[in-house]
Amino acid sequence: MLIEELYDALIEAGASEAKAKAAARAIADYETRFGGIEKELGGFRSAVEKEFAGFRSDVDKRFTEFRSEFAAFRSDVDKEFTELRSEFSALRSDVDKEFTEFRSEFAALRSDTDKEFAGFRSNTDKKFGELRAYVDKEFTDIRGTLKLHNWMLATNIGLLVAILFKVFS
């Protein structure tokens, strides 16, 4: 096989006839090789497309299975959460009831405690008043006694000064 256009161009360019034929045949061989390579690439491409289509089909199938399994799992989880919410609501109701009872008992105890403290405070105020009156009386007595002692001391000093004055004068 020979590429005529290339052969004619080489002859016009001044190449010998033998060299022009050899070059045209060599290029024709390359063109045949390239044609074979293109054919093989086409077959390879077709095989890869088939493999990719199969892979994609398998992936789609697995994703569909996963979605259905996930939907079932989510349904189970939603069911469990609904049951937990129901149980939690019942427990919360019981706890609220217990707290209400505790609050009423605490209010009663607080009322009793307030009464006890009021009585204790009244009694303490009374005792403190009595004690203060007693302390005030005692301080008054001590002040009176102190004034008496001061008067007696002053009298004794005055008498002593008078005696000393009489003796030494």
At 34-47, the pLDDT tens digits run 888 888 888 888 99
CA dist 61 and 33 (Å) reads 41
Give the model's pLDDT for residue 56: 93
Mean pLDDT of 17-25: 86
At 142-167, the pLDDT tens digits run 999 999 999 999 999 999 999 999 99
Is residue 32 very low, low, confident or very high in pLDDT (cuts 50, 70, 90)?
confident
Kindly state the tokens that stand for 107: 């209010």
- Token look-up 């000093």 returns 157
The proportion of the chain whose per-residue pLDDT surpasses 90, expressed as a percent, equals: 69
- 87 SS3 class: helix
pLDDT value at 84 more than 80: yes
Residue type, 137: K
Kindly state the tokens that stand for 62: 């697995």
CA dist 47 and 43 (Å) reads 6
